[in-house]
Structure 1
Amino acid sequence: MVFVVYVRVLVERCRMFYLFFESRNNKKDPVVIWLTGGPGCSSELAVFYENGPFKIANNLSLVWNEYGWDKVSNLLYVDQPTGTGFSYSTDNRDIRHDEDGVSNDL
């Protein structure tokens, strides 16, 4: 099962994007929180090119990743800081530029 969620972050105009994949094996498997580095790199890259449940085939279709970490864990991908990937704010003052701001939002 897949959950796609926007969560309001501290202020009304700011939203953080989360993508959650339940384990293919057991819902009681541990939860892995994936924060792609950068900063400013979307976690969706990992979903399709690294450890996620899908990969992009040569014909551009989605296929199961036989090595996806969702075989042994529940996966939570977060686009952070705000302004990265699908996380956004309607006010540029909400874009974080330091670790304290990013950790407070997360």
Structure 2
Amino acid sequence: MQAQHQEVQLPRSVQAQVARLVLQANLAYSESNSPDLPFAQRLQARQECREYLSRALELEAENAAALGLLGRVEMDDGQLEKAHSFFNASLNSQPGQVQQYCNLGYWALKSERPA
């Protein structure tokens, strides 16, 4: 007998909430990298990004977009091993994402190791 993999489908309202949180996290991440903003504001935006991602992942622990963006945040903060784990978790959740392969390429350059 073979075990079947069943995906648990979240209610649409939860899916929409997760999508909004990931969009807000992306906006905050963009702000955190804006050279036009003061450093303190960029740090605050980075923290907001983390908070949005945390809330999204509480609702949907395997959300590929949230995991990938959290990997970028960790990489930007110098946490290369955490970043690598999040990029791979994102790919495990949703294989074939070009963005995550690009992120792994950036990770390999920063860590001076093959992806």
Q: Which has the higher contact order (CA 8 A, sep 6+)?
A: 1
Q: Which protein shows a greater Rg? A: 2
Task: Tell me if both proteins adopt one fold, taking TM over 0.5 as the criterion.
Answer: no
**More helix, by proportion:** 2
What is the TM-score when the length of structure 2 is the normalising length? 0.22
What is the TM-score when the length of structure 1 is the normalising length? 0.23
**More strand, by proportion:** 1
